[in-house]
């Protein structure tokens, strides 16, 4: 059974700084339940959405696009799913960006992160959170300009910005059958400041910017994205179609932003790169929500009552229409 969800919290610029005060993470990390923590985030103006208990993927139909600051809705979500983990969108929507240091079997992102720290690129964090896998989430204030998500597979470091989300404390993930929490391990005694994601990516992967100097003004692109300064829609669609699982949503968001920046109409973008996203395995609802989010974020081609193009069934889903949790 589906339930109504409210309008997603949107702000033209950065959220008020007090909502992400250093004490914020300490307070929610000490909450006596996931529902209490989720409600506290919402009360501070931080949009949240529920994720599957013991896992990272969303419970809501539109994922992080369903995030809200409405306390009644948040309470109802966690009343119905008390063990749901807490997801928060990253980027301008929530006011935070996160550097995700991965730890896998035989691979660790900590050497690359320490190298970036020594270079002064990741020293202005707000909090450090240990992830259940033994990795690290370093939280930074978001910038007012667009900084999309990207991945640096060789460095085992990801950037969670616009078009992405993270799971936040005190959420719990099953690791080898053992419930393990996201744990706050440090809060800043310095003045937190935004991260330059382009400089960080260039440090981790110098060849990336060397091959695409146009990105000095355009900002970061996801790993492996088309390198020409004004990619044709069909080329972007082919690139989106080849995106691997884990990078599909962020890649689609980035590609839609590029289309909006180049002045393409919303319907044309949905028809072209939307087809590629379907080939990559995303469903129509998520495609529409992601492309709409990209157009809202770039603000240069915001859709007004868009109509679904040929080949896409069902009504267009926006933040002003019904959303709900899968039952």
DSSP letter at 144 equals S
Q: Where are the domains of the chain?
A: 17-198, 225-298
Q: Tell which residue, 202, 99, 92, has the closest CA to residue 147.
A: 92
Q: Is the pTM of this model over 0.75?
A: no
pLDDT at residue 246 in the model: 62
Separation of alpha carbons 76 and 118, rounded Å:
45
The 3-state DSSP class for residue 90 equals coil
Q: How confident is the model at residue 223 (pLDDT cuts 50, 70, 90)?
A: very low
Q: What is the CATH number of domain 17-198?
A: 3.30.2250
Residue with tokens 């896409």: 312
Secondary element (H or E) of residue 298: helix 284-298
Distances (CA, A) of 164 to 67, 82, 91, 252, 262: 12, 24, 8, 11, 22
pLDDT at residue 1 in the model: 32
Separation of alpha carbons 225 and 227, rounded Å:
6
Q: Tell which residue, 103, 202, 209, 99, has the closest CA to residue 158.
A: 99
- Residues in the chain, how many? 327
Q: What are phi and psi of 150, to 5 degrees?
A: -155, 165
Kindly state the percentage of the chain with pLDDT values over 90: 37
- Asked if 262 and 278 touch (Cβ cutoff 8 Å), the reply is no
Q: pLDDT tens digit string along 33-62?
A: 999 999 999 998 899 999 999 999 899 888
Q: pLDDT tens digit string along 254-293?
A: 888 888 877 888 888 888 888 888 877 888 888 888 888 8
């Amino acid at each position: 059974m589906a339930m109504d969800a409210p309008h997603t919290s949107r702000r033209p610029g950065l959220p008020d700084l007090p909502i992400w005060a250093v004490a914020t993470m300490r307070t929610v990390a000490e909450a006596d339940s996931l529902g209490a923590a989720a409600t506290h985030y919402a009360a501070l103006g931080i949009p949240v959405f529920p994720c599957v208990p013991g896992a990272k993927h969303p419970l809501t139909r539109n994922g992080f696009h369903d995030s809200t600051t409405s306390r009644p809705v948040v309470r109802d979500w966690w009343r119905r799913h008390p063990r749901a983990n807490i997801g928060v969108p990253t980027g301008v929507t929530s006011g935070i960006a996160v550097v995700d240091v991965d730890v896998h079997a035989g691979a660790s992102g900590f050497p690359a992160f320490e190298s970036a720290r020594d270079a002064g690129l990741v020293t202005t964090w707000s909090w450090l959170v240990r992830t259940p896998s033994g990795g690290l989430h370093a939280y930074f204030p978001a910038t007012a300009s667009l900084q999309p998500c990207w991945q640096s597979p060789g460095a085992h470091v990801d950037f969670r910005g616009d078009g992405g989300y993270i799971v936040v404390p005190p959420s719990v993930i099953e690791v080898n059958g053992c419930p393990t929490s996201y744990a706050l391990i440090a809060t800043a005694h310095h003045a937190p400041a935004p991260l330059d994601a382009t400089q960080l990516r260039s440090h981790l992967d110098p060849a990336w910017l060397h091959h695409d100097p146009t990105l000095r003004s355009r900002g970061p692109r996801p790993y492996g994205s088309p390198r020409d300064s004004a990619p044709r829609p069909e080329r972007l669609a082919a690139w989106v179609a080849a995106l691997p699982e884990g990078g599909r949503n962020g890649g689609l968001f980035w590609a839609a932003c590029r289309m909006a920046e180049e002045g393409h109409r919303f319907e044309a973008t949905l028809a072209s790169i939307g087809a590629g996203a379907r080939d990559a395995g995303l469903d129509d609802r998520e495609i529409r929500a992601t492309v709409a989010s990209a157009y809202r974020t770039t603000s240069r081609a915001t859709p007004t009552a868009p109509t679904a193009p040929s080949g896409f069934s069902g009504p267009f889903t926006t933040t002003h229409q019904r959303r709900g949790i899968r039952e």
